[in-house]
Amino acid sequence: MTRTATRRHLPAIAFAVVLLVTSLLPTPESAGGQIPALLGISPDKWVHAFSYGALTGLLAWGRTARRVTVVAALAGIAVAYGAGIELLQGLVPSRGTSWLDFLANAVGAALAGAAWLWYRR
């Protein structure tokens, strides 16, 4: 990989580290229930979808992806990363694993991948 290509991946790597750290921090007991749902969906799920959508977009940008298969693979990487973090959250006392969070991650990654392909065409 060339130096320029490596630099293009740095935002995705940095964002992935931020996701990992913030996802494994203990949550305060007063968190949650303070912000109303948007379109009947919890703000937490919106944050999950946006975060993994952003990760997918950064991965696609770093790869300068144009093919559907490549973007799908990058979205799959983002989803797998999110699944790993969800499993690790089970080890944090004030957190837990959630299939709904995983689903929100996957939806966000898929929508971002589709948006990326639409934008690049």
* Rounded mean pLDDT, 15-23: 96
- What amino acid is encoded at 18 in this protein? V
What is residue 121's predicted lDDT score, i.e. its pLDDT?
A: 83
Query: If you write DSSP's letter for every residue of 87-116 in order, what string do you get?
Result: HHHTTSTT----HHHHHHHHHHHHHHHHHH
pLDDT digits (tens, 9 = 90+) for 25-76: 987 665 555 666 667 778 889 999 999 999 999 999 998 888 999 999 999 9
pLDDT digits (tens, 9 = 90+) for 96-113: 899 999 999 999 999 999
pTM of the model: 0.87
How confident is residue 93, by pLDDT bands cut at 50, 70 and 90?
confident
Q: For residue 25, give both structure tokens.
A: 């921090």
